Structure 1
């Protein structure tokens, strides 16, 4: 794994997650019209790690089937470029830079966050039938269903500011959880705009039993289970290792003898 790959003009460049997000153009499509931003998680790091994992798994499967090993070369840059497929190809073949629109959608309306009595909620109307259902069955504005300014998505996008204003005035009278339930019952895509505390206390995680207790040097902590689920086995979650706890094991696996490891320790190279 590397930042930019094992060859090419940027092979030896330093590559932090934010630098790769910038080089690939990810920052140019993330944020608001006023400013570009990085993603809230280290996207390039995670993308490279995931592709490295799947590449290693593919190489191990090939070795089992053919006896032939593999050299795996995964870069943060290549992995992030792969994830940018849709906006990248839109630029290539239609010469269109995807605009930064915050939580809004470039080609669908209404599709954004809207105020509620106690916060905000995301609503994403995917088609004209959904618009009719939203204004008729949820928001109590049936007169808007056939209004020629809003009846089709093309017109709603053209009148986006008006649509957002109308929807926002209607949603702000609802408590978020009540509106979320009503939208769900009507088949309208929606999500409560939660913070990370809302994620930790999310009923879906609780219902799916996603939390486990793991041991650390400072005592037991709660940690979320890996997302890979198998019907017949649960992936183990071992204790968080102490600093240097596995040094001897790792060096031995790499071929170092006990004497060599002790020498490294005396020289201060390992702890």
Structure 2
């Protein structure tokens, strides 16, 4: 297990799928002891696939450095063990269906009275004080409900984001909330009960399209790989390949015209003088820009863009990501000892050494003996 800023912290995770496990793997990466409580068949993500040497890709990604205990939380003996764990724990995180924890006897009132220093985090699909509280919530459903799909895709077809954006955002929000609560506990001596709703995270991400609509009456369209509200910020076909070019300021726009495309007069055109005008007149602007880029090969375009200080990028396929020069990796052991590599988490240096991915129930007996001796 990794040593780090959270070493000595005990986290109890009644978790499944992506959102809560993403939060707790970040805690484990920082040195916290994370005890993952699973049902007899294992949590949901263990069975998504067997792509990684027999292990689910999701599970291999999100569960390194944790311990696994199989408990039956309908059994009185195992509920008693959970109570003992919570007496010792700093953090409880759970993403069971709403109300499940209370039905076990751990209502908010009981948690506050029995475990006053515990930071108890519940991940839900929707705020429990809203009319949507009882709705079932999965990643794509929340992306669609929040309007995220309405601004993603092409003009002809909305799309979800290609990774589990709602789950990932929720896990990151829960992680930040826990760290804030730990700091607060240092001052107050008391824990907190925190709700992190998936919909809230996606609605927050949708703030700019919502503000555009409510204050300017403008609906954000879908433009594929082009930016909806900054222009030109899109792919351009060169003579021998494609580059994505990003101009975010008027100064960059002028440099693009003069130093990259040899079209300085475009920068002074009345229809293209400001970013809002360029966004509104993108079709006309494209008619000017596309032939200019087609006259350049990629190497020439890159040299000109770099000299002008204008950002650019390449469209990368998944097959290309593994050999990308910016990709940094970390080695992780699976439950059977087989080694794989994962993208190194942001903020971790080359010395980062995470713990292994746990086998189902590997630590159950040891945890029983430690917390319920005799």
Q: 1:51 aligns with which of 173, 181, 184?
A: 173
Shift of 1:173: 4.0
**Number of aligned positions between the proteins:** 251
**CA separation in 2, counterparts of 1:96 and 1:250?**
56
**CA separation in 2, counterparts of 1:192 and 1:102?**
15
Shift of 1:66: 1.3
Q: Secondary structure at the match of 2:124?
A: coil
Shift of 1:218: 6.9
Q: 2:222 aligns with which of 95, 100, 106?
A: 100
**CA separation in 2, counterparts of 1:12 and 1:76?**
13
1:140 aligned partner: 262
TM-score of the superposition, structure 1-length normalised? Answer: 0.80
Q: 1:212 aligns with which of 327, 330, 338?
A: 330
2:342 aligned partner: 223
1:123 aligns with 2:241: no
Relative to structure 1, the CA distance from residue 228 to residue 152 in structure 2 (aligned partners, 3 Å threshold; closer, same or farther) is: closer
Shift of 1:147: 4.2
| Alignment deviations for residues 74-120 of structure 1 (CA, whole Å, 9 cap, x no partner) | 11111211221111222223332212222223344322111123432
Within 5 A, what are the aligned runs for 1:30-179?
30-153=152-275, 155-179=277-301
1:185 aligns with 2:303: no
2:46 aligned partner: none
1:244 aligned partner: 361
**CA separation in 2, counterparts of 1:183 and 1:60?**
46
**CA separation in 2, counterparts of 1:14 and 1:28?**
20
**CA separation in 2, counterparts of 1:117 and 1:70?**
59
Which deviates more, 26-35 or 67-76?
26-35
Relative to structure 1, the CA distance from residue 167 to residue 249 in structure 2 (aligned partners, 3 Å threshold; closer, same or farther) is: farther
**What is the RMSD of the two structures over their aligned residues, measured on CA atoms?**
2.6
Shift of 1:244: 2.8
Contact 1:121–1:191 (8 Å) recurs in 2: yes
Relative to structure 1, the CA distance from residue 42 to residue 249 in structure 2 (aligned partners, 3 Å threshold; closer, same or farther) is: farther
Contact 1:109–1:153 (8 Å) recurs in 2: yes
Shift of 1:203: 1.8
Contact 1:105–1:111 (8 Å) recurs in 2: yes
Contact 1:176–1:192 (8 Å) recurs in 2: no
Q: Secondary structure at the match of 2:194?
A: coil
Task: Point out which structure has higher relative CO (alpha carbons under 8 A, 6+ apart).
Answer: 2
Contact 2:259–2:304 (8 Å) recurs in 1: no
Contact 1:214–1:220 (8 Å) recurs in 2: yes
Q: Secondary structure at the match of 2:208?
A: helix
Which deviates more, 193-202 or 71-80?
193-202
**CA separation in 2, counterparts of 1:127 and 1:117?**
26
Relative to structure 1, the CA distance from residue 63 to residue 108 in structure 2 (aligned partners, 3 Å threshold; closer, same or farther) is: closer
2:30 aligned partner: none
| Alignment deviations for residues 42-97 of structure 1 (CA, whole Å, 9 cap, x no partner) | 11101111111111111222222211111111111112112211112222233322
Q: Which runs of 5+ in 1 are unaligned?
A: 260-271
Relative to structure 1, the CA distance from residue 72 to residue 151 in structure 2 (aligned partners, 3 Å threshold; closer, same or farther) is: closer
**CA separation in 1, counterparts of 2:317 and 2:300?**
18
